[in-house]
Amino acid sequence: MAAQHSETVDLLVIGWGKAGKTLAGTAARAGRRVALVEQSADMVGGSCINIACVPTKILIHDAQGRTAEDDPEDWFAAAVARRDSLTAAMRKKNFELLDDLDSVLLVSGRARFTGEREVLVTDGPDTLTLTADAVVINTGSVPAVPPIPGARIGGRIHSSETLQHVDPLPRSLIVVGGGYVGLEFASMFAHFGAEVTVLDRGERPLADEDPDVAETVAEALRGDGAAITSGATVTEVRDGADSAEVVYEVAGVEQRAAADAVLLALGRSPATAGLGLDVAGVDTDDSGYVIVDERLRTSAAGVYAAGDVNGGPQFTYVSLDDSRILTDQLLGEGARSTADRRALQYTMFLTPPLSRAGLTEAQAREQGYDVRVGVKPVADVAAAPRAKIEGDPRGIIKVVVDGATDQVLGAALMHVHSQEVINLVALAMRHGITASQLRDEIYTHPSATEALNEVLGTLHS
């Protein structure tokens, strides 16, 4: 017999992502009664630890350790096993962190709005109606399936989630899409030993980067065994018993490529299906993302949206910052907003990783700055041997500076440990530390950071 219950709480969070779980814990420790709803036991803790940041970086790290003597399939299987072991441990820990708080109610099931700040949660025949003073939509995003004939997830055609458990390792892989996810997976599977082809519809790889940076990235990918075809418009994807085929056009000429597997890496879509947002009066944009203001408030009073689902930058650390904004909204003075974010950094975990913050050289010139540029190939940086020590001196360091103020406008760093150094550069940009101060700072040796001493000494128009 079905069980029907109801609860009233101070805060209801739908989805166990970074923003939601952080906010839930903070609110509970502040004495609030909190309910957190998650529809999948496999997603406890959110996308980052289960299908995105952590598991993919485990695979990337382990792929980089494979040598020519290591069997590709065995190496990949071992990496997947380690991935699964660590994500399971993190899932367990995330559950315990909230389950140990007496004022948190953890609910399994699918949530659907049935009114203003009222949600019905269904788990098989059982239902629970939750009413809250504040509701946070934190359901994240899912891989987009492009409107291309034959494009679907199944068989030999994969998303970034399903490809992590492909069995066996494909000896050949076609990546449809040359963006953030596509290039990370291309690099990863090339290191695992697959023959990788990237079909990118852009005129050149990484069109948003300066040409010298983009070409350095492309050279590294090609050197690792990943081919990139630019200007490729995919017109059809075909799954078959022995291989998958992709039909595409370059300069109007139809071409075909076959591989053991195809990765569709053409963006992500908001996970809002079945939420009943219209019932709650929550507006969405043309792409389905929940519309929010600078304080993450939706069009419905008392309803907020955090993380990927609100259409902002899709990074875990941005989701964490969303939780800070919401904490200030619900428990503080309400002054914090997304407008506080400047020089947001990111890293594309290639080999070596590419990290960026702020403007490119081209963007800075377009905006009329008195541009000064410090740039060097990593292999030519004499006073920073860290990359050479680790056996991979590939890459480029490029810093863009405003000659009038000596402020750093942007940086592109492709070298070992760039994911760490970019945090320092972005911090400097946010807090007005000048290029000269960064140039003359004391850094440990041998480290990746100390390259800033040398590169910032080469500033020129």
Is residue 151 assigned to a domain? no
Q: Which residues of 392-417 are buried (b: 16+ CB within 10 A; e: fewer)?
A: bbbbbbbbbbbeeebbbbbbbbbbbb
What's the Cα-to-Cα distance from 167 to each of 73, 195, 372, 402, 441, rounded to whole Å?
A: 9, 16, 50, 51, 49
Is residue 149 assigned to a domain? no
Cα atoms found within 13 Å of the Cα of residue 283, Cβ hemisphere only = 11
Rounded-to-integer distance, Cα 397 and Cα 136, Å: 40
| CATH code (residue 185) | 3.50.50.60
Q: Helix axis angle, 72-99 relative to 180-192, nearest 10°? A: 130
Is residue 148 assigned to a domain? no
Q: Which of 266, 299, 326 is the last residue of a domain?
A: 266
Residues 132 and 44 in one domain: yes
Domain of residue 232 covers 157-266
Is residue 147 assigned to a domain? no
- Residue 275: strand, helix, or coil: coil
Q: Which of 309, 340, 371 is the last residue of a domain?
A: 340
Residues 112 and 261 in one domain: no
Rounded-to-integer distance, Cα 172 and Cα 227, Å: 11
Encoded tokens for 63: 């792929």
Other beta carbons less than 10 A from residue 339's beta carbon? 8
Rounded-to-integer distance, Cα 240 and Cα 88, Å: 33
Residues 364 and 427 in one domain: yes
Residues 400 and 254 in one domain: no
Q: Which of 214, 245, 266 is the last residue of a domain?
A: 266
Catalytic residues: 445
- The CA-based dihedral angle spanning residues 158, 162, 163, 164, taken in that order and rounded to the nearest 10 degrees: 170
Residues 240 and 287 in one domain: no
| CATH code (residue 399) | 3.30.390.30
Residues 13 and 135 in one domain: yes
Is residue 247 assigned to a domain? yes
Is residue 388 assigned to a domain? yes
Dihedral sign for Cα 408, 414, 418, 419, please: positive
Distance of CA 160 to the CA centre of its chain: 11
Encoded tokens for 290: 């929940």
In this structure, are residues 439 and 456 in contact, taking their beta carbons and an 8 Å threshold?
Answer: yes
Residues 210 and 166 in one domain: yes
Residues 20 and 83 in one domain: yes
Is residue 137 assigned to a domain? yes
Helices (H) and strands (E) in the chain, counts: 13, 22
In this structure, are residues 247 and 254 in contact, taking their beta carbons and an 8 Å threshold?
Answer: yes
Residues 335 and 219 in one domain: no
Mark residue 265 as left, alpha or beta (left: phi above 0; alpha: psi -120 to 50; beta: remaining): beta
Residues 375 and 336 in one domain: no
Residues 216 and 307 in one domain: no
Is residue 150 assigned to a domain? no
Total structural domains within the chain: 3
* pLDDT tens, the chain, 461 aa long: 477 899 999 999 999 999 999 999 999 999 999 999 999 999 999 999 999 999 999 999 999 999 999 999 999 999 999 999 999 999 999 999 999 999 999 999 999 999 999 999 999 999 999 999 999 999 999 999 999 999 999 999 999 999 999 999 999 999 999 999 999 999 999 999 999 999 999 999 999 999 999 999 999 999 999 999 999 999 999 999 999 999 999 999 999 999 999 999 999 999 999 999 999 999 999 999 999 999 999 999 999 999 999 999 999 999 999 999 999 999 999 999 999 999 999 999 999 999 999 999 999 999 999 999 999 999 999 999 999 999 999 999 999 999 999 999 999 999 999 999 999 999 999 999 999 999 999 999 999 999 999 999 999 99
Residues 113 and 188 in one domain: no
